[in-house]
A and B are shown apart, each in its own frame.
Chain A
Amino acid sequence: MKEKKVIALLGNPNAGKSSLFNQLTGLRQKIGNFPGVTVDKKIGFCRLDAKTDIEILDLPGTYSIYPNSLDEQVVLEVLANPQHPEYPDVAVVVADASNLKRNMLLFEQVSDLGIPTILALNMLDVAEEMGISINSGKLSKILGVPVVELNARQGIGIDGLKYTILNQLESKKTHVNPPILDEKSEVIASEVRKKYNISNKYLAMQYAAQSPKMMFLGDDAQKDLQALVEKYNFNADAFQSAETIDRYHDISGTLTQVIHETGEQKETISEKIDKILLHRIWGYAIFLSILFLIFQSVFSLAEYPMDLIDGSVAGLNDWLKSVLPDSVLVSLLTDGLIAGVGGVVIFIPQIAFLFAFISILEESGYMARVVVLMDKLIRRFGMSGKSVVPLISSMACAVPAIMSARTIGSWKDRLITIMVTPLMSCSARLPIYTILIALVVPDTKVLGIFNLQGIALMGLYLLGFFSALVAGWIMKLILQSKERSYFIMELPTYKMPRWKQVGFMILEKVKTFVFEAGKVIVAISILLWVLASYGPGSEMEQAEKQVIAANPTQTQEELASKIASVRLESSYAGHFGKFIEPAIAPLGYDWKIGIALITSFAAREVFVGTVSTIYSIGADPEDESTIKERLRNEVNANTGQKTFSIATSFSLLIFYVFAMMCMSTIATVYRETKGWKWPLIQLGYMSVLAYVAALVVYQVLK
């Protein structure tokens, strides 16, 4: 027996399923994995009454139980397998009341699988605006299952739904209306039922029609079922087609009895908005302006909280050093730990802004229009309009972005999207961009309003975007596939973003960044402090003595910075950096940057933390200026010039635009493509691209 009863939420995309999920579970949610597949499993908990706690499973949105993408396949995996640990005791099908006919298809299929079902009519207010009224009492009587009226956005009807779930757990009502089967199908169905001990006829037909998509069956059963299909020459497509037409016919018959439509179809607000947002000129102009606005605000608005954090971290370190005795532990705390953590915390404002914008675009329904606007453009580059969502999301983080590519049905389109997505500049690159741009691009206004640094930032993002297109175009030429791709996609009506949802998403993403990335960054910061503070044998002490001996006339203070710098040079970290210096010198990097390159191989955001740790160790301990100032004053020991010259900084910027420096992304690509082939190819081509591009930039600007 399962500990808790499982209630599955099902529904078409945009029917309001996630609103309902949030209303039912509040913050009691967690994200896990379905065994065997990589699709996120969203579950939450809800208390129905004093003695009944249930688990709510939020399944991916789908139009039917015949999946067209990996995401949708999960629905079939769960619903067609009564042994599945998440097999629902009750299914709640959330339906958009303004478009009930199409939403009923999924309801009928789920119910026919023998799962006790509740039909939840959502968005009745939208239906009402369109002049549609529904007699839900009568509908419930015809269907034989409970029908609940909801407004999931406003949380109206939630208590009624809870009460109905409680009743359904007892009475287990289903609406059985299986498709009419021809003789051949009847024979197959009965054979499948006998062989697999299935009582439900419709489920048996699913075994026959969709076994290649049911991974839970295992290889042997899948082969057996395929043999059965061939034996009877069963045409699964014809079955599905006939079933769909049958069901729609039945649904129409039901709905004419319960739906009352008044008046002519008026042009809705969404249609009016689309006239502008999908306009052949304004459409693109508005999209570009929105992108521009995002970069401007990410850069300029986030600057205030960031300066505040930067100043506070430096202030905290100053204060700690002044009150605590000078010791190894204090140095570890201030130069190692706090400097490292400061390098993480400072980017929270920018990440929050970026995710806020992405989530608003998705919430409002505009993202679907972007998909439409971009499809034809992007198709030339081996992808589909649906690739725009992963590409835009990866400006925040490539990991969820690559996972969101699952909605792309065609394997080739999806693979190309996965392969080029990490070229889009993610939020982890933002720290590096911010610091280096601040060093070499003047903070001036262009044309009175545009911030030059913001424009430089946008340029880097565009560079990433265009290189993703070029890489896609090349892959399109290499990869051959006969597979067809679909685009057919619903355009949801425009909605006001739910601000709570936006806030929730920002919180979740920032939390993930701070804890996931932060863990790595702090660990590496501490390791780095050790490597930079200690050296092989007594090399560091000897180097220090040499400096003192060579400069007998200088004061203590003048000596301090020289000593700090030679100590770092003879430390373990210094040795590492020196070791790779010959390879990176043509790119304009010295051994200190070399250390940062090595450490940021695990995650690129480590770069800034490393740089701040290295330079705070190498610098005069009395001079606790902010990261930016410290870098600006840094001098390359080999050339005698500023380390972060224009050539070096741009070379570094370009390097980080292209370099695949993120363990999590590599791991995600491995999971999503089920093997090492693609992640290794990706790592290879991006590394070569990064090195060559940085080399060219440095040699040209030098």
Chain B
Amino acid sequence: MVKFPEKTVADLNIGEKGIINTFKDPAMSLKLLEMGCLPGTEVTLDFIAPLGCPVGIRVAGYHLSLRKREAATIVLKPNQA
């Protein structure tokens, strides 16, 4: 079976939506969970800061800013075909 690289929040384009699946980094996930980024929650990529980092996402009805490296720890559910 060919394993596709998992899609993360860092891979989203501006305006694109995704559903959170899991987290790659357990320590970072604590803070993300606390901020309402739960598995099953929809996120939208809002903006990418002028120098490519940090990025802004819309989650649970508000705006959250995080670094690209941090966004890359949030794994999204694979798109349904």
Binding site for B on A (CB under 8 A): 63-64, 66, 68, 98-99, 101-102, 105, 130, 237, 240-241, 244-245, 248, 270-271, 274-275, 278-281, 283-284, 368, 371-373, 375-377, 385, 484, 486-491, 493
Contact = CB atoms under 8 A, between A and B. Distances in A.
Interface string B25-61: 0111111111110110000001101111110100011
A490 B58 CA distance: 10
A491 B65 CA distance: 6
Which of A63, A237, A372, A385 has the largest number of chain B CB atoms within 10 A?
A: A372
A376 B70 CA distance: 13
B60 A491 contact: no
A284 B66 contact: no
B28 A372 contact: no
Contacts of A68: 31
A487 B51 contact: no
3 nearest CB pairs, A to B: A280-B50, A491-B63, A376-B51
B30 to A, nearest CB: 6
A279 B64 CA distance: 17
A248 B54 contact: no
A273 to B, nearest CB: 12
Contacts of A278: 47, 49-50, 56
B35 A241 contact: no
A424 B61 CA distance: 37
Contacts of A98: 61-62
B24 interface: no
Contacts of B34: 63-64, 66, 105, 244
Contacts of A368: 65
A491 B53 contact: no
A98 B61 CA distance: 8
B56 A241 contact: no
A101 B36 CA distance: 8
Contact of B70 (A373, A487, A490): A487
Given A487-B54, A489-B65, A375 B30 contact: no
Given A284-B50, A488-B31, 6 more contacts: A102-B62, A241-B30, A248-B33, A278-B49, A283-B50, A376-B52
A487 B66 contact: yes
A62 to B, nearest CB: 9
Interface of B: 26-36, 38-39, 46-47, 49-54, 56, 60-67, 70
A248 B33 CA distance: 9
A486 B54 contact: no
Contacts of A275: 47
Nearest to B47: A278
Contacts of A130: 61
Contacts of A244: 30, 33-34
A99 B62 contact: yes
A484 B54 contact: no
A373 B50 contact: yes
Contact of B31 (A375, A377, A486): A486
A102 B63 contact: no
A60 to B, nearest CB: 15
Given A375-B67, A487-B66, A488-B35, A271 B46 contact: yes
Contacts of A372: 49, 54, 56, 65
Nearest to A101: B60
Which of A63, A484, A486, A493 has the largest number of chain B CB atoms within 10 A?
A: A486
A64 to B, nearest CB: 5
A491 B47 CA distance: 12
A376 B67 CA distance: 9
A488 B70 CA distance: 8
A101 B60 CA distance: 8
A98 B63 CA distance: 12
Contact of A375 (B39, B49, B61, B64): B49
B21 to A, nearest CB: 14
Which of A68, A98, A241 has the largest number of chain B CB atoms within 10 A?
A: A241
Contact of A237 (B26, B51, B62): B26
Which of A68, A375, A493 has the largest number of chain B CB atoms within 10 A?
A: A375
A68 B34 CA distance: 11
B30 A240 contact: yes
A75 to B, nearest CB: 13
A279 B50 CA distance: 6
18 contacts: A98-B61, A99-B60, A101-B61, A102-B61, A241-B26, A241-B29, A241-B30, A241-B33, A245-B33, A274-B63, A281-B50, A283-B50, A376-B54, A385-B54, A488-B35, A489-B64, A489-B66, A490-B64
A312 B63 CA distance: 52
A245 B38 contact: yes
B50 A488 contact: no
A99 B50 CA distance: 27
B56 A375 contact: no
A28 to B, nearest CB: 33
B70 A274 contact: no
Contacts of B36: 101-102, 105, 248
